[in-house]
Chain A
Amino acid sequence: MARYVVGVDLGTTNCSLAFALAEAEDPTKPSPIEQLDVPQVVGLNDASPRPLLPSFLYLAAPGEFPPKALDLPWKAGADRAVGVFARDHGAKSPGRLVSSAKSWLSHAGVDRRSAILPWSAPPEVAKVSPVEASAAYLAHLRDAWNAGAGKDAGGRLEEQEVLLTVPASFDAVARELTVEAAKQAGLAGVTLLEEPQAAFYAWLAEAGDRWRKQVKVGDVILVCDVGGGTTDFTLIAVEGRDGDLALNRLAVGEHILLGGDNMDLALAYSVAATLPRGMEGLDAAQRVALNHACRAAKEALFADPKKKSAPVAILGRGSKVIGGSIKAELDRETLDRVLVDGFLPMCEPTDQPAKGRRVGLAEIGLPYAADPAITRHLARFLNRQAGSLHAEGGVIRPSAVLFNGGVFKADPLRNRVLEVLSNWAGKPVPELRSNDLDLAVARGAAYYGQVRRGRGVRIRGGVARSYYVGLETSAPAVPGIEPEIKALCVVPMGMEEGTDADVPGPELGLVVGEPAVFRFLSSTTRRDDPVGAVVERWAPEEIQELAPLETALAVEGESEGATVPVRLHARVNEVGTLELSCRSARDDRRWSLEFNVREPGEE
């Protein structure tokens, strides 16, 4: 029996952990939520607690540091570091730094279970897979918990109810790999929760019963979550049910690799452009210093609207701090141009993000968003969902916005998003105020753990996408052209956790002794396809292909090469992942389908 409900935010750039007692003294009220300060290596020989655990893993070279310098209270002889020191030192020695593991976890273009990170590491580095890196962050949180709160019997994190958050835009494969990382870290019983929903729960937890006064039936709330590396949109509808308010997650956006880190980098580049030798004239450590200084200058300017500019100083690289220092300035005009107009430009509700490859800001390997304009991505999201939801007049006008992510601590950035949405709506769109934009997701997840125990209101919504298995059409094969496929809906959008369904439709034939491979597809907009529906044609952006599904039929009793007629079966489990299987039409044998995340064409 779990003593605590624990919310874990496994972020692209920062992780955090919040917890609450599972059983409250007053069963009608949620228990107070606390934050775990995470001990981590912040410098050599210095393991100190910090509220956030930066999601960076540094793989130290043999003999690079003095013995025991990376030790943690719970671990001696460590040869790798997670957290602040990994991030800061890794910026100076990037060849051994694993970063953005979460973005790699959702990147279908690579084999996510093979050791590919750090992406640009020299051959002598023992690389890790995106799954292993994510597991390393979770294992660090587990050990930090077990060394502190978990020291009592029954207090270990493995025994608690852990809610792990993932972007709403994560597809079934990325969710599955996240659960796999949790298992590697010894957390076998996690439950997944979408991050924007977690942010919404944090708002509910904070507002208490007052939330019912701040929204009304018919409202559609936009959760605008801009994290370090990803932008995530979600729509939540307020509905009336049995005389009370109910919440329903209507739609989630696509995976957009664009976030606060891109903003900080863009700002650093524009300040570096004013230096005599530009960014090229700075070494790795000075670039990090420039990044820090720009962030501080940005915060100073955003905090005081009257200030015209803020100094940006990069201290001397050597022991001469003043003599070698480089001075620059961030003025308000640059700040507004780069951040407010660059990332949140005013635009029309019908605008689309620009396509094409973006150079300069992209880290090698990851498919970063081509257009940095978050507002245009938002326009596209609302536009596409309007069609999908059959919204009146073909547009969705959110009635309120809940922001999440450290980026939105800055008033001008929140105000710009509100201004754009108000323009589109033709009337002011209010903001639902949230206090802690950095830690809200973990706190909200800990709150959700209590909601699952009946203390508080639950957001409904089910599966955020519809999923399809590709069926090859019987069109004549043309050499060099892939046969067209039809999409058989196996999981309809909105299918609830803990339910399962037989997929009606054609019987499929599996060949005994051969691996069977199914193409697997998904959509964030096709909400009207029932299970068993066959989609013949679709627009390219409507349905995306994911990693294929695979199963192998053991020969057992059948003659090799024989065909077994099967039907598909889908289940959405309590964890929040999909279980797809083939069931024999003749007897009660079944074969589960697994995701094959190997790089396409690797075999």
Chain B
Amino acid sequence: MNRFWLALRTFWRTLTEADFAARVEPLFSDRPTGPDLRILAVLQRDGRLVDFLEEDIDGYGDAEVGAAVRDIHRGCRKALHDYLSIEPVLTGAEESSVRIPADFDPAAVRLIGNVDAKPPFQGVLKHHGWRVRSVRLPVLPVARDDSSVLSPAEVEIP
């Protein structure tokens, strides 16, 4: 990475583009912000994920949890697919054998078991992993994301 060049470009675009400046500004802020929160807000909005994770479910029977989870699952799944394209890192079937070349990316593939074997590795695919192929976050810039609200309180006026 040529940091000098990056710094110049950032300087210039921050100076000339309001949208770009609005996206840089949060980097200097301590407030919780950023794309991760947007995804979480969307999962709460469309699938009530935060409500679900924050609820104490010990007191409910399996049938009650099951019925609700179906709905939460449907909402979250749709939201996930609306905003992200997710695909397996490795395409083979799980529990089938897989060959990992010597120059594999340790961030994308994790070896377990006899990790000292000689490459290329011959192993069994235990979990195919996930990666994001494309992100379709809201069209609007992040600038307005200047708040810690994941989901607004709702008040009905009769």
Give Cα A314 to B70, complex, Å.
Answer: 11
Determine which of B59, B71, B144, B145 lies in contact with A315 in the assembled complex, contact meaning CB atoms within 8 Å: B71
Contact yes or no, A319 B51, CB < 8 A: yes
Instruction: Name B72's contact: one of A39, A311, A321, A327 (CB within 8 Å).
Output: A321
B105 at the interface (CB under 8 A from A): no
Q: Which residue of A lies closest to B60 (CB)?
A: A322
Q: How many residues of A contact B (CB 8 A)?
A: 31
Residues of chain A within 8 A of B138, CB atoms compared: 45-48
Whether A71 lies near B65 (C-beta < 8 A) is: no
Q: Binary interface profile of B, 82-125, with partner A (CB < 8 Å = 1, else 0)?
A: 11000000000000000000000000000000000000000000
- Provide the residues of chain B in CB contact with A311, threshold 8 Å: 67, 70
Report how far A131 CA is from B57 CA in the complex, Å. 51
The A interface, classified by DSSP as helix, strand, loop or mixed, is loop
Q: Is A313 an interface residue (CB 8 A)?
A: yes
Q: Does B6 contact A (CB under 8 A)?
A: no
The total of chain B residues at the interface (CB under 8 A) is 29
CA gap between A419 and B87 in the complex, in Å: 43
Answer whether residue B128 sits at the interface, using C-beta atoms and an 8 A cutoff: no
Interface residues of B in 111-158 (CB under 8 A from A): 136, 138-140, 144-145, 152, 156
Per the bound structure, the CA–CA distance linking A92 and B74 in Å amounts to: 21
Establish whether residues A320 and B55, one from each chain, have CB atoms under 8 Å apart when the complex forms: yes
Report which of B45, B46, B67 forms a contact with A313, defined as CB distance below 8 A: B67
Interface membership of A73, Cβ < 8 A? yes
- Neighbouring B residues of A66 by C-beta, 8 Å: 144
From A47, A296, A316, contact of B139 by CB (8 A): A47
Cβ distance A546 to chain B, nearest Cβ, rounded Å: 42
- Which of B42, B54, B55, B144 meets A43, CB within 8 Å? B42
Binary B-proximity of A287-300 (CB < 8 A = 1, otherwise 0): 00000010010000
Q: Are A325 and B68 in contact (CB under 8 A)?
A: yes
- Identify the closest chain A residue to B72 (Cβ): A321
User: Which of A43, A44, A50, A322 lies in contact with B64, CB distance below 8 A?
Assistant: A322
B52, CB-defined interface residue at 8 Å: yes
Which B residues lie within 8 Å of A92 (CB)? 156
Decide yes or no whether A151 CB sits under 8 A from chain B: no
Known: A39-B139, A46-B140, A68-B144. A321 touches B52 (CB 8 A): yes
Neighbour of A73 across the interface among B48, B55, B140, B152, CB < 8 A? B140
Flag B36-71 by CB within 8 Å of A: 1 or 0 each. Answer: 000000100110100110110101100011011011
Q: Find chain A residues with CB under 8 A from B152 CB.
A: 44
Contacts of B54 in A (CB 8 A): 319
**Chain B interface secondary structure, helix, strand, loop or mixed?**
helix
| B141 CB, min distance to chain A CBs, angstroms | 9
Indicate if A507 sits at the interface (CB-CB under 8 A): no
The residue of chain B having its C-beta at the shortest distance from the C-beta of A329 within the complex is B67
- Contacts A43-B45, A46-B42: A327 and B64 contacting too (C-beta < 8 A)? yes
- What CA separation (Å) do A323 and B58 show in the bound complex? 11
Q: Are A323 and B156 in contact (CB under 8 A)?
A: no
Best-surrounded residue of A46, A69, A92, A293 (most CB of chain B within 10 A): A46
Structural contact, A47 and B68, CB atoms closer than 8 A: no
Indicate if the CB atoms of B55 and A319 lie closer than 8 Å: yes
A43-B42, A293-B71 known; A321 vs B48 contact (CB < 8 Å): yes
A40-73: CB near B (< 8 Å → 1, else 0) gives: 0001111111100000000000000010110111
CB distance from A274 to the nearest CB of B (A): 14
A283 within 8 A of B: yes
CB distance from B51 to the nearest CB of A (A): 4
Bound: A293/B83 CA distance, A = 22
Find chain A residues with CB under 8 A from B71 CB.
293, 313-315
Chain A residue numbers with a CB within 8 Å of B51 are: 315-316, 319-321
What's the least CB distance linking B142 to chain A, in Å? 10
A73 CA to B141 CA in the complex, in Å?
A: 9
Looking at the complex, which one of A48, A71, A283, A323 makes contact with B55 (CB distance below 8 Å)? Answer: A323
B67, B74, B144: residue with the most chain A Cβ atoms closer than 10 Å: B67
Assess the A71–B70 pair: CB atoms within 8 A: no
Interchain CB contact under 8 A, A325 and B64: yes
Taking a contact as CB atoms under 8 Å apart, the answer to whether B70 and A323 are in contact is: no
Complex CA–CA separation, A320 to B42 (angstroms): 18
> Which of A65-91 touch B at CB < 8 Å?
66, 68-69, 71-73
In the bound complex, CA of A528 to CA of B42 (Å): 59
Indicate if the CB atoms of A48 and B60 lie closer than 8 Å: no
Contacts of B139 in A (CB 8 A): 39, 47-49, 72-73
Assuming A321-B68, A322-B60, is B45 touching A47 (CB within 8 A)?
no
On whether the beta carbons of A322 and B144 are closer than 8 Å, the reply is no
B82: nearest chain-A partner, CB-CB = A48
Bound CA–CA A293/B74 (angstroms): 10
Cβ of B125 to closest chain A Cβ, rounded Å: 30
Q: Which residue from chain B places its CB closest to the CB of A320 in the assembled complex?
A: B55
A46 to B83, CA, bound (A): 11
Complex: A524 Cα to B52 Cα, angstroms? 56
Q: Which of A301-342 contact B (CB under 8 A)?
A: 311, 313-316, 319-323, 325, 327
Asked if A322 and B57 make an inter-chain contact with CB atoms under 8 angstroms apart, the answer reads: yes
Q: Which of B20-38 contact A (CB under 8 A)?
A: none
Residues of chain A within 8 A of B60, CB atoms compared: 322-323
Instruction: Please report the C-alpha to C-alpha distance between residue A313 and residue B51 in the assembled complex, in whole angstroms.
Output: 16
With a cutoff of 8 Å between Cβ atoms, the chain A residues found around residue B144 in the complex are 45, 66, 68-69
Q: How far is the CB of B50 from chain A (nearest CB, A)?
A: 8
* Contact sample, A vs B, 19 pairs, CB 8 Å cutoff: A39-B139, A43-B46, A45-B140, A48-B139, A49-B136, A50-B82, A66-B144, A68-B144, A293-B71, A296-B74, A311-B67, A313-B71, A316-B51, A319-B51, A319-B55, A320-B51, A325-B64, A325-B68, A327-B67
Q: A50-B82, A321-B48, A321-B51 are in contact. List 13 more A-B contacts (CB 8 A).
A: A43-B45, A46-B42, A46-B140, A48-B138, A73-B139, A73-B140, A283-B156, A293-B71, A316-B51, A321-B52, A323-B59, A325-B64, A325-B68
Where the two chains meet, the residues of B that have a C-beta atom closer than 8 Å to any C-beta of A are 42, 45-46, 48, 51-52, 54-55, 57, 59-60, 64-65, 67-68, 70-72, 74, 82-83, 136, 138-140, 144-145, 152, 156
- Which 5 A-B residue pairs are closest in the complex by CB-CB distance? A46-B138, A313-B67, A321-B51, A322-B68, A47-B139
